[in-house]
Structure 1
Amino acid sequence: MKVEICVGTLEAARIVSKLPIDRIETCIALEQGGLTPSKAMVSWIQNTFDLEQHALIRVRAGGFVYNYDEIVVMRDQILELKDAGIKGLIVGALTKDFKLNLEALETWKRTAPNVDFTFHRAFDSIDDWKTAMDQLIKMGFKRILTSGSDQSVAHGIKRLKELVTYANGRIEIMAGGGVKEELIPELKATGIHAIHFSGTSKVTVESETAFQETLLLPDENKLTTILVAIQG
């Protein structure tokens, strides 16, 4: 089973580069669910560490129903990042009735035909997930990141098993969203192909200044604990 860690800062990339993992998802603004990283950030990680890097493409927070302009900007973000040497891209787009936005997805896929594409947790908002999975397979997506059609993997265990069974080796199923040490045995039992987590904790920075923020920063203890459970 593969291990993917979500990396939202340069320091997080430095920390996880020393850990026994398979790949990273690079983004920024984890506090908003993750947004597209800059080309400079992606290139620095690619040139500094021996990591298989995938990058999130998400132009803004607040759901996955995008207008035309946003779809074009995300296409251009893909164009920028695909030449940085990354292995894959993570995308997702829905229609107003919570089906796949096939036009957007096909546009993005054509923009970078030689990289792996992962469909992210927008998948968990889709009711007809079997049709959606078949459509993603037809488009050539490599994997689906999902919490099992629920808010977290803790509540989506049953659906994760169903997803793996229905996929039947045609597409990888990667579990993510609220991954904790105590959930690892149950997640392994579903037959999933990979686990995705960030291993972060909330940290207040610039305390008592005009720039005070609460950020999700890497927690080495959390990261290590979850990895030990996965390897056990």
Structure 2
Amino acid sequence: MSTRAVLEVIALDAGDAVAAQAGGADRLELVTDMAADGLTPPTRTFTAIRAAVDIDLRVMLRLADGFAAGDVDRLAGAAGELRAAGADQFVLGFLDAAGGADLTAVERVVEVLEGCRWTFHRAIDRAADRDALRKELADLPGLDTYLTAGAAEGVDEGFPTLRAEARRGGEPGYGQTLLVGGGLRLDHVPELRAAGIGAFHIGGAARPGGWDGPVSAEAVQEWRQVLDRP
């Protein structure tokens, strides 16, 4: 029996969230400031979205563009405030200057999350050594997903890596879900599904009017229909 594919959609506000859920999204990634590639939203935005929809929400923990953690005390404080407001799933990912996982920052934030589920985001696509990063993070509590295109340039370039990592699902460091996003198009879906990948992340693809426009329920529904094809 085939498992329904997971569709995660980026939401900036409650209107986006309602449209994404109406279109068939399974989960939302909550961010602000897409000009900086997605930063931590205000807690009030989380609470408004949480009140508007009943699907899973993963909240971004990121203070500035790039993959350095920056002010780890501020990050931990933001995580704690969101936890107190009811957030129970998160997205984060920090690299050190050498392109390795910034374990100090990641562990500090994960400690505040108290076992909540979280995604390590596309920082993995900028890592000096993806395999080493996965093995370093393997035992952190709550880590259940990697958001990745397989390559910094996007899914077109990352296909070989995505296929290879999907095949390694049972190995140490490879037990997490591959959530594919970053230059993802509808025409990629059949090949990714054939490779055994079952989770997909869209941002701009859900917004026909670009990032200045809202999420379109119809655009999300089109993805849902493609993902649900046998």
TM-score (norm 1): 0.88
Q: Is the aligned partner of 1:129 residue 2:130? A: yes
Report deviation, 1:132.
Answer: 0.8
Q: How many angstroms apart in 2 are the aligned matches of 1:127 and 1:167?
A: 21
The residue aligned with 2:41 is 37
What code does the residue aligned with 2:228 have? Q
Q: Is the aligned partner of 1:64 residue 2:67? A: yes
Q: How many angstroms apart in 2 are the aligned matches of 1:51 and 1:86?
A: 12
* SS state at 1:18 partner: helix
Q: How many angstroms apart in 2 are the aligned matches of 1:217 and 1:49?
A: 16
The residue aligned with 1:165 is 167
Of 121-130 and 10-19, more deviation after overlay is shown by 10-19
* SS state at 1:90 partner: strand
Larger strand proportion of the pair: 1
Report deviation, 1:216.
Answer: 5.3
Question: What stretches of structure 1 move > 4 A for 4+ residues in a row?
Answer: none
Report deviation, 1:167.
Answer: 3.5
Q: How many angstroms apart in 1 are the aligned matches of 2:96 and 2:128?
A: 12
Of 169-178 and 51-60, more deviation after overlay is shown by 169-178
What code does the residue aligned with 1:225 have? E
Of 100-109 and 83-92, more deviation after overlay is shown by 83-92
The residue aligned with 2:112 is 111
Q: How many angstroms apart in 2 are the aligned matches of 1:27 and 1:164?
A: 27
Query: Alignment RMSD, CA only?
Result: 1.7
Q: How many angstroms apart in 1 are the aligned matches of 2:197 and 2:72?
A: 30
Report deviation, 1:220.
Answer: 3.7
The residue aligned with 2:194 is 189
Q: Can you give the 5+ residue segments of structure 1 that lack an aligned partner in the other structure? A: 204-213
Q: How many angstroms apart in 2 are the aligned matches of 1:225 and 1:48?
A: 22
Q: Can you give the 5+ residue segments of structure 2 that lack an aligned partner in the other structure? A: none
Does the aligned pair in 2 maintain the 1:180–1:226 contact within 8 Å?
Answer: no
Does the aligned pair in 1 maintain the 2:28–2:58 contact within 8 Å?
Answer: yes
For residues 1-232 of structure 1, the aligned pairs below 5 Å read 1-61=5-65, 63-67=66-70, 70-140=71-141, 141-168=143-170, 170-198=175-203, 199-203=206-210, 215=212, 217-232=214-229
Does the aligned pair in 2 maintain the 1:2–1:193 contact within 8 Å?
Answer: yes
What code does the residue aligned with 2:150 have? G
Q: How many angstroms apart in 1 are the aligned matches of 2:15 and 2:98?
A: 39
Report deviation, 1:17.
Answer: 2.3
Q: How many angstroms apart in 1 are the aligned matches of 2:128 and 2:167?
A: 17
TM-score (norm 2): 0.88
Q: How many angstroms apart in 2 are the aligned matches of 1:151 and 1:125?
A: 10
Does the aligned pair in 2 maintain the 1:133–1:167 contact within 8 Å?
Answer: no
